[in-house]
Amino acid sequence: EFFGGSVKSYDSNQLASNSPIEDSRSEASCVHTSGLLLGIFDGHGGPACSQVISKRLMRYIAASLVPPDDLRQHVLNEFVSEIKELYEKSFHQFANELTNTTLAGFQMHQTLENAFIRLDQDLSREAIEMPSLRTMSVAMSGAVALVAHIDGPHLHVASVGDCSAVLGTVTDTGQWMAKKLTNEHNSDNVGEVRRLLSEHPATERDTVIRGERLLGQLAPLRAMGDFRYKWSREQLEQLVVPQFGEQVIAPYYLTPPYLSACPEITHHILTPRDKFLIIASDGLWDTMSAMQTVHLVGEHMYGKAFLQPLTLPKQDITLGEISQMLTTRKAGLQKKPLDRNVATHLIRNALGGTEYGVEHSKLSHMLSLPQDIVRLFRDDITITVVYFDSEYLRNCPT
C-alpha cells in the first residue's frame, strides 16, 4: 500500500499456527486528519477478542483525533441509523462524549490511552449488560495489542502485552541500528512486576505471579479482554461460573482487577535517518532479534531496488559511469529478494533462516507440521513494515 506524507508504503503479512489464527491486524488512514494507524493484535484463549478489537480500536482512536465540532457534524450523523447495533451503540456513546470535550491542551498520549481503556470498558459493559455467546466469547478471551500512529514526523506507539515495535535507522557511517520502541509486559520486565505487586496487598506477593504467569495462568501482564482477571469475584460467580464452571476463577483471586488494559506509550520524532518501522506479534520475536529483523529489512530494501528497471540520470553521463552503474546493478541482482513483500521475506527467514541463508528443507518442515503439534514449534506470526519517506522528513517542520 502507498501513502503520502512521511509514509512511503507498507507491507504486511501473517502466517497461522493456531486454527483459526488468533492474531489480527488492521490499518486505517484517518479521514479527518493526516494520520495513519497500524495495529497488530495477538489473541489468546481463542480469536474472538483479537478480531473484535482489531475492527473497533482504530475507530475509537480516529474519532478521538477529530475536533469536537467536526465530530458532531460528521461522525454522529454517519452512525445514527445503525445505533441499535450493540457495537455501534457503544461507539456512538463514546463519540457523543467526545463532542462535549474541548481540544485545549490536547495530548496524543492521553488520547491513545483513553481509546484503549474505553474500548476495554465497553467490551466489559457489553458482556455484563447483554450477555450472549458473542459478547461472552470476547470477554472470556483476550488479546495483547500494539498500535502505531504516524502523522508527519510524529510517531506514537501504544502497546499492551508483548507485541513489539522496532525502528530501522541508518547511522552516520551507514550502519543499520535497531531501536526498540516497546517493552514487553510480562514477568521478565522487572518494572512491570513491581507495578503489579504494588497494586495488591503484600500478603499476595507470592501468588500474584506464579510460574512466571499472572495468577499462574496468563503470560502477558497487560491485555484487553480477559475479564476473568478483571471482574469482581461476585460478577464472575454470577455471570461466568454458571456457563463456564468454577475453574474460571483463578486460585488466589482476592483483590481484582489483576490485569490492566492501559497502554505504555512511546513518542518518537522521525528524522531522515529513520528508514522503516517493524511491528509484529511475538511469533516473530520468538525466533529473531530486533537487530536481525532490521538487517533483513535493510538488505531487502537494497535488493528490492534492483527489481525496478534501470533508469539513467537526466544529466550528461559518460560510458564509464554507465558501465559502473551496470556493475553495481549486477552485484545487487545477486541480493534480489524472492519476495517483493518484506513481511513475507521476514516470515521466510524466521522459519527457514540459518547463518548461511534460508534453508528450504527447514522452511518446508516448519510449514508442513501437523495441526495438532504445530503450536509446540511456532506461534502465529503477524508483521507490518512501514517505510518512511526520507525526502519528506528532511523538509518537514517538526
Distances (CA, A) of 311 to 154, 283, 319, 334: 33, 39, 14, 19
Please state the CATH superfamily assignment of the domain spanning residues 7-395 in this structure: PPM-type phosphatase domain (3.60.40.10)
| Cβ(16)–Cβ(366) below 8 Å | no
- pLDDT for the residue 378: 86
Reduced to 3 states (helix: H, G, I; strand: E, B; else coil), residue 317 is coil
Q: Is the dihedral of CA 107, 109, 112, 117 positive or negative?
A: negative
Mean pLDDT by 10 residues, the chain (398 residues): 76 92 90 86 94 93 83 56 67 87 74 96 95 91 97 96 97 94 97 97 96 97 98 96 94 97 97 97 94 93 63 74 74 68 92 76 83 84 96 85
Nearby residues of 26 by Cβ (< 8 Å), 6 or more positions away: 37, 38, 39, 41, 54, 55, 57, 58
- pLDDT for the residue 79: 42
Closest CA to 293 of 301, 284, 302: 284
Report domain extents, the chain.
7-395
- pLDDT for the residue 275: 97
- pLDDT for the residue 103: 58
Closest CA to 44 of 121, 138, 149, 171: 138
Reduced to 3 states (helix: H, G, I; strand: E, B; else coil), residue 38 is strand
- pLDDT for the residue 80: 40
